[in-house]
Amino acid sequence: MRIGVLALQGGYDPHARTLACFPEVQVSLVRYQAELDSVDALILPGGESTTIGKLLVLQGLWEPLRKRISGGLPVFGTCAGMILLSRQILGSQQLILGLLDISVERNAYGRQVESFEAEVEVSFSPERLNEKAPAVFIRAPRIIAVGPQVTVMAKHEGTPVLVREKNILAASFHPELTDSLEVHRYFLNQVC
Amino acid sequence: MSDTLWSQRQKATWKTKLGLAEMLKGGVIMDVTTAAEAKIAEEAGAIAVMALERVPSDIRIQGGVARMSDPKMIQEIQASVSIPVMAKCRIGHIVEAQILEALKVDFIDESEVLTPADDQFHIYKHDFQVPFVCGCRDLGEALRRIGEGAALIRTKGEAGTGNVIEAVRHMRTLMDQIRQLTRTPKEELMTFAKNIGAPFELVMEVSQTGKLPVPNFSAGGVATPADAALMRHLGAETVFVGSGIFKAADPKRMAHAIVEAVANYQNPSRLAAISTGLGQAIAGVDVRQLTDGQKLSLRGW
C-alpha cells in the first residue's frame, strides 16, 4: 500500500516517520501531480493552511486533489490539513477544498503559549469505545459544527477533535507528534 | 547513564514547542516592520513573520543600539495576520524575552541581529512557555543553544548583507560536523564534545540520529529565489528572509517568488521560471569588506 504525505510545507516528516512504523506501507512524499496519481491514500499534514493552499494552486494540484478525494481517495488531514478539507472557516474567505462537512475556527485555542498536550478518548469502533490516546494541540483549529453524515470519534472538553465522513478522516490535533500509532493504524486499516 | 535520548526526557511542553517548529518546515519566514508588510508576507505565502522595527540592512547602515521592538508594533502585526508572529530579543536579555512572552508572540528569536545585552550568557530558555529560535555558526553553538532550551536552530549567515556566502559557510560547517559525528566511535565522543564546547548528551544524540534534535533553518543574506533554494539544497528545512524582501525593488513579487522557490528547490526548470523578471534584488555587501566589529554573526557565546 503506497501512502502519500503532501510535502509542500509543514509537518510532513513526523507523518512519514509514523507511517514508516507500518511494514505494509510504502511512504511517498507528494509535491507534484505524478506523485499524487501514484498513491493509494494521502495524508494532509499540519503547517500553515494559507501557505499549503496557495502552494497546492501553484503546483497545479488543487483540482486533481479535489477530484481524487471526491472520487474516494482515502485522506487523513491533521490541523492545517483538516482546515483545508473543511466546508467552512469562521470569518475567513481562505481557499478550502470543502469536502468534509464541518465548520472550523482557526487558531481558536489561542496563540502558541496556549498550545497543549492532552489525553483524548477515541471511539475507534463499537467494540473499541473511549480508548485513551495522547494528543498534541498546536495553535489548533476548533471544530464548531459537524454535518449529519460526519461521525465524531473523539472529543476534548466537549468539542469534537477527531471526525470521519466516508473516505475522509480529520483531526484538530497531531497524533504524529506522539508515540501512539493508533490513529494512523485506524486510518490504514479502516479508512484505506 | 540513561538509555533514552536527551530529547525523550524533556518536559511536556517540549513537545508543543518542537511541534510548532515542525509545522514551520518547508517554508519562508519573512522580516516585517509594519502591519501592511505583514499582510503582504502572509498573502505571498509566508509561514510566519518576524516583527522588528528595522530590517538588518537598516540596522547595519543606521548603527546605534538595536533593541526589542515597541510592543504596539508587535500587537498591530499580531492583529493583522493569522500566521505565527515571531519577535526578537537581545542575547541574554531575560526581561525583553519575558515581555515578548507576555505579548504572546509565537516564537522568540534570541538574536545576534540586535545588540547583545550580555557578553557571556544566553537566556535559560527552558524556563519559558514560548519556544525560542537561536542562531549558530557551527554544531557546538547549535547544541549549546539547544541545551539552554532552543526548540529551533537557524544558521546565522550575515544578516542585512544580501550576500549568501556566510549562510552557506555556516550551513556547510554544521552539516559537515553532523556527518563527522555519525562516523565517530563512542569512546571519542566526550573529547568531541569538549572540543566543540557542546553538552555531551546532545553530542551522543546527534551521533546516533545524524541530525539536530530540533529543526534546522537558515538565515542571513538570502536575497533571491535561487539563494533560498540553495539553502534548502544544503540542508535548511525552512529559510528566514530578512532585508531580502522589503529591500528588493518589487517586494510583493520577490516574496511570492521565494515562497515558490523553497517548495520547488529540486526543480531547476521551475526555478528558472520563478527567477524571471523579478527586478532588482537587495544591492548587497561584500562580507570581506566588513571588520569583525561589523559582523553580526560573531555575536553569541
Inspect the interface and report whether the beta carbons of B83 and A113 lie closer than 8 Å.
no
Q: Is A46 on the interface with B (CB under 8 A)?
A: yes
Q: Is A14 on the interface with B (CB under 8 A)?
A: yes
Inspect the interface and report whether the beta carbons of B82 and A107 lie closer than 8 Å.
yes
The CATH class for the domain spanning A2-191 reads alpha beta
> Which of A15, A105, A165, A174 is the catalytic position?
A174
- Cβ atoms of B121 and B145 within 8 Å: the answer is no
Centre a 10 Å sphere on the Cβ of residue B241 and count the other Cβ atoms it contains: 32
Distance CA A35, CA A15 (A): 17
Nearest CA-CA distance, residue A187 and chain B, Å: 21
- Position A18 scores a pLDDT of 97
Report chain B's mean pLDDT, rounded to a whole number: 95
pTM recorded for the entire structure? 0.95
- β-strand A116-122 against A131-137: which pairing, if any? antiparallel
Instruction: Give domain limits for chain A.
Output: 2-191
Render pLDDT for B57-84 as a digit per residue (tens, 0 to 9). Answer: 999 889 899 999 999 999 999 999 999 9
Q: Is A110 on the interface with B (CB under 8 A)?
A: yes
- What does residue B90 show for φ and ψ, rounded to 5 degrees? -70, 150
The residue behind cell 495524508 is A43
Q: Is A83 on the interface with B (CB under 8 A)?
A: no
Q: Is A130 on the interface with B (CB under 8 A)?
A: no
- Position B7 scores a pLDDT of 77
Q: Is A12 on the interface with B (CB under 8 A)?
A: yes
- Position B1 scores a pLDDT of 52
Q: Is B107 on the interface with A (CB under 8 A)?
A: yes
DSSP bridge pairs for A43: A5, A76
- Cβ atoms of B139 and B195 within 8 Å: the answer is no
| Spatial CA neighbour of A44 closest among A55, A90, A142 | A55
| Dihedral sign (CA A179, A185, A186, A191) | positive
Render pLDDT for A155-168 as a digit per residue (tens, 0 to 9). Answer: 999 999 999 999 99
Residue B221 — left, alpha, or beta (φ > 0 → left; ψ -120 to 50 → alpha)?
A: left
- Cβ atoms of B88 and B116 within 8 Å: the answer is no
Question: Which of chain A's residues have a Cβ under 8 Å away from the Cβ of B260?
Answer: 55, 58
Indicate the range of A47-61, A156-170, B217-231, B277-291 predicted with least confidence: B277-291
> Which of B17, B39, B72, B88 is the catalytic position?
B88
Over range B265-269, report the average pLDDT: 96
- β-strand A100-105 against A75-78: which pairing, if any? unpaired
Centre a 10 Å sphere on the Cβ of residue B34 and count the other Cβ atoms it contains: 15
Query: What one-character DSSP code corresponds to residue A25?
Result: P
> Which of A79, A105, A156, A165 is the catalytic position?
A79
Interface test with B, best of A111, A113, A114, A142 (most B CBs within 10 A): A113
Question: In chain B, pLDDT over 70 holds for what percent of residues?
Answer: 98
Q: Give the closest of A12, A55, A139 to B20, CB-based.
A: A139
In angstroms, what is the C-alpha Rg of chain B?
18
| Spatial CA neighbour of A47 closest among B131, B236, B48, B150 | B48
- Position B12 scores a pLDDT of 58
E runs forming strands in B169-301: 216-218, 239-241
Per-residue 3-state assignment (H helix, E strand, C coil) for B68-83 = CCCHHHHHHHHHHCCC
Over range B47-59, report the average pLDDT: 93
Let me know if B252 is a catalytic residue. no
Q: Give the closest of A51, A111, A136 to B47, CB-based.
A: A51
- Cβ atoms of A4 and A35 within 8 Å: the answer is yes
Per-residue pLDDT at A46 exceeds 90: yes
- Position B4 scores a pLDDT of 76
Centre a 10 Å sphere on the Cβ of residue A119 and count the other Cβ atoms it contains: 10
Per-residue pLDDT at A136 exceeds 60: yes
| Dihedral sign (CA B81, A145, A77, A88) | negative
Question: Which of chain B's residues have a Cβ under 8 Å away from the Cβ of A107?
Answer: 82
| Model confidence band, residue B10 (pLDDT cutoffs 50, 70, 90) | low
| Model confidence band, residue B5 (pLDDT cutoffs 50, 70, 90) | confident
Which amino acid is present at A149?
Answer: Q
Per-residue pLDDT at B144 exceeds 60: yes
